[in-house]
């Protein structure tokens, strides 16, 4: 009478012990929030109506029987989201005490609350809740056949898949679910899995990092050459194509940290392109029609570049030329400002000093050769151009520094966020 729960006294619940072995994690679908795994479910219970004396039956201690002849507890997994494709006519072992052990293989497509924020360094905690459809606690109580630790260890040693996901551990807790007036016994297993990030690190993070590094290094291309902007534009284009191609690898729902990282890389590139445009504009302005330089800017320039400056220019600073002591070696004068004056100044500080006292000659320019009257306007303009060029280079260095600072801080922030998850 397999239609009825086999029990002698109907007010005594059937005790059903379950355990399982997880043998593969086949797929985790972040969009549908599904985990597909493969497991062997083992269900054990007593049937008090099956009993024999092994001595009378030729020492047979246990028999296999088809499940069609037995009452089977209806254990199901609550998170199950697919039709059960388990073959129906399976066998079960029955021993002489009436203890029935029933194994069935299951491909479990279970719903799992996936948090992809830390993708691709994420860990997921999927639950498998075993319970009965119809039997309440008065009729069926669930127990554990093995400790969760044992289940975890056998699964870890048996697991076949070397795919994207690694099984970390399996934990268990027991709970009763209340629905209306009836209570159902449940056993909840927490399956902790971790993604192997190497695929994503190699395909997503490294190329991004390289492109941003090249973008940062391209600041060393001279701004005057006009190569910098096209170079950066090509990089930006390449990065866009890269993002388009790699879009398939990203989870589609939610905003993982990696998307923020990509957006950050892209904006760094855009910002650096804008900076290049700005500097190019500034240089163009400086070389074609330099506007008069505001005094504050001028003093700022003087202040920041005075140790490298070769031409004392303002009348009140005329004695600057005297500062050119022999300690000012040519090596000290590297950088774009070196072109400010003909090299004669550097070599003949005493000439400069001798000419200083005559105000007519050095009122606006300390360069002795350009002090002659016909060339004065020309020289003045050239000087202004030089100042603006100097200013552009200063701005370039400053913005490059800010760019590096922003890049370093944001990337470190992202990495720290990723690492906090790992510590956990």
Ligand X SMILES: *[C@@H]1O[C@H](CO)[C@@H](O)[C@H](O)[C@H]1NC(C)=O
- Measured CA to CA, the distance from residue 188 to residue 216 in angstroms comes to 51
Is 190 near ligand X (CB under 6 A)? yes
Please identify, among the stretches 38-46, 90-98, 355-363, 400-408, the one whose residues bind ligand X according to the rule CB under 6 A: 38-46
Q: Which is nearer to ligand X, 15 or 68 (CB)?
A: 15
Q: Where do the H-state alpha helices sit in 98-177?
A: 148-158
Minimum Å distance from CB 16 to ligand X?
7
Minimum Å distance from CB 99 to ligand X?
6
Taking residues 115 to 154 in sequence order and writing x for each that binds ligand X by CB under 6 A, - otherwise, the string is: ----------x-----------------xx----------
Is 69 near ligand X (CB under 6 A)? no
Looking from the CA of 186 toward its CB, the CA atoms found within 13 Å total 19
Binds ligand X by CB under 6 A, chosen from 24, 34, 43, 45: 45
Please identify, among the stretches 6-14, 177-185, 335-343, 351-359, the one whose residues bind ligand X according to the rule CB under 6 A: 6-14
Two tokens, residue 353: 């000093």
Q: Do 258 and 275 meet the contact criterion of CB atoms below 8 Å apart? A: no
Q: Residue 143 contacts by C-beta under 8 Å, 6 or more apart in sequence?
A: 15, 16, 17, 18
Between residue 167 and residue 186, which ones bind ligand X under the rule CB under 6 A?
171
Q: Where do the H-state alpha helices sit in 289-375?
A: 295-305, 344-347, 349-355, 359-362
Q: Do 112 and 412 meet the contact criterion of CB atoms below 8 Å apart? A: no
Q: Which is nearer to ligand X, 45 or 388 (CB)?
A: 45
Minimum Å distance from CB 71 to ligand X?
14
Peptide bond into 116 cis (omega under 30): no
Count of residues of this chain found to bind ligand X when the rule CB under 6 A is applied: 14
Q: Which is nearer to ligand X, 149 or 299 (CB)?
A: 149
Q: Which is nearer to ligand X, 45 or 337 (CB)?
A: 45
The CA-to-CA distance between both ends of the chain, in Å, stands at 53
Q: Which is nearer to ligand X, 126 or 235 (CB)?
A: 126
Strand order in the sheet with 75-77: 75-77, 123-132, 182-195, 165-179
**Which long-range contacts (C-beta less than 8 Å, at least 24 apart) are formed by 378-386?**
381/290, 383/311, 383/313, 383/340, 384/290, 384/292, 384/293, 385/286, 385/287, 385/290, 386/339, 386/340
Q: Which is nearer to ligand X, 25 or 340 (CB)?
A: 25
Minimum Å distance from CB 63 to ligand X?
17
Q: Which is nearer to ligand X, 103 or 348 (CB)?
A: 103
Minimum Å distance from CB 124 to ligand X?
9
Minimum Å distance from CB 416 to ligand X?
21
Minimum Å distance from CB 192 to ligand X?
4
Measured at the CA of 79, the angle between CA 128 and CA 77, to 5 degrees, comes to 65
Minimum Å distance from CB 205 to ligand X?
25
Sole residue written with tokens 């923020």: 260
Minimum Å distance from CB 134 to ligand X?
19
Two tokens, residue 227: 């190569």
Report the residue count for the chain.
424
DSSP 350-412: HHHHHHTT-HHHHSS---GGGGSGGGHHHHHHHHHHHHHHHHHHHHHHHHHHHHHHHHHHHHH
Q: Which is nearer to ligand X, 188 or 364 (CB)?
A: 188
Minimum Å distance from CB 9 to ligand X?
4
Between residue 10 and residue 29, which ones bind ligand X under the rule CB under 6 A?
11-12, 15, 17
Q: Which is nearer to ligand X, 143 or 209 (CB)?
A: 143
Is 78 near ligand X (CB under 6 A)? no
Binds ligand X by CB under 6 A, chosen from 63, 65, 177, 192: 192
Q: Residue 360 contacts by C-beta under 8 Å, 6 or more apart in sequence?
A: none
- Could you list the residues that contact ligand X (CB under 6 A)? 9, 11-12, 15, 17, 44-46, 125, 143-144, 171, 190, 192
């Amino acid at each position: 009478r397999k239609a009825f729960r086999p029990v002698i006294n109907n007010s005594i619940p059937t005790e059903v012990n379950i355990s399982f072995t997880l043998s593969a994690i086949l797929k985790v679908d972040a969009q549908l929030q599904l985990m597909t795994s493969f497991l062997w479910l083992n269900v054990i219970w007593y049937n008090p109506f099956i009993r024999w004396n092994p001595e009378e039956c030729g020492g047979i201690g246990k028999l296999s029987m088809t499940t069609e002849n037995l009452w089977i507890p209806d254990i199901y997994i609550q998170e199950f989201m697919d039709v059960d494709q388990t073959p129906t006519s399976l066998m079960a072992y029955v021993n002489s005490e009436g203890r029935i052990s029933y194994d069935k293989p299951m491909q479990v497509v279970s719903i799992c609350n996936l948090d992809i924020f830390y993708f691709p360094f994420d860990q997921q905690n999927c639950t498998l809740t075993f319970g009965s459809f119809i039997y309440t606690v008065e009729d069926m109580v669930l127990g554990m056949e093995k400790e969760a630790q044992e289940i975890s260890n056998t699964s870890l040693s048996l697991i076949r898949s070397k795919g994207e996901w690694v099984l970390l551990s399996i934990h268990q807790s027991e709970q009763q679910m209340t629905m209306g007036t009836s209570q159902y016994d449940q056993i909840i297993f927490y399956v902790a899995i971790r993604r192997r990030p190497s695929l994503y690190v190699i395909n997503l993070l490294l190329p991004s990092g390289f492109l941003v590094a090249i973008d940062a290094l391209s600041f060393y291309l001279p701004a005057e050459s006009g190569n910098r902007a096209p170079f950066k534009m090509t990089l930006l284009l390449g990065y866009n194509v890269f993002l388009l191609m790699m879009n398939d690898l990203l989870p589609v729902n939610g905003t993982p940290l990696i998307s923020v990282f990509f957006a950050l890389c892209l904006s760094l590139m855009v910002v650096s392109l804008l900076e290049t445009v700005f500097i190019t504009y500034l240089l163009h302005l400086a070389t074609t029609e330099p506007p008069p330089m505001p005094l504050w800017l001028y003093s700022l320039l003087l202040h920041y570049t005075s140790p490298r400056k070769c031409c004392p220019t303002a009348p009140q600073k005329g004695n600057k030329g005297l500062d050119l002591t022999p300690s000012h070696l040519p090596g000290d004068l590297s950088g774009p400002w070196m072109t400010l004056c003909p090299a004669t100044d550097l070599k003949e500080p005493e000439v400069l000093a001798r000419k200083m006292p005559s105000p007519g000659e050095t009122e606006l320019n300390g360069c002795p050769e350009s002090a002659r009257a016909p060339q004065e306007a020309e020289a003045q303009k050239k000087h202004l151009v030089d100042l603006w060029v100097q200013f552009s280079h200063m701005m370039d260095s400053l913005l490059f520094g800010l760019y590096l600072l922003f890049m370093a801080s944001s990337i470190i922030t992202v990495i720290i966020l990723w690492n906090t998850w790992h510590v956990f």
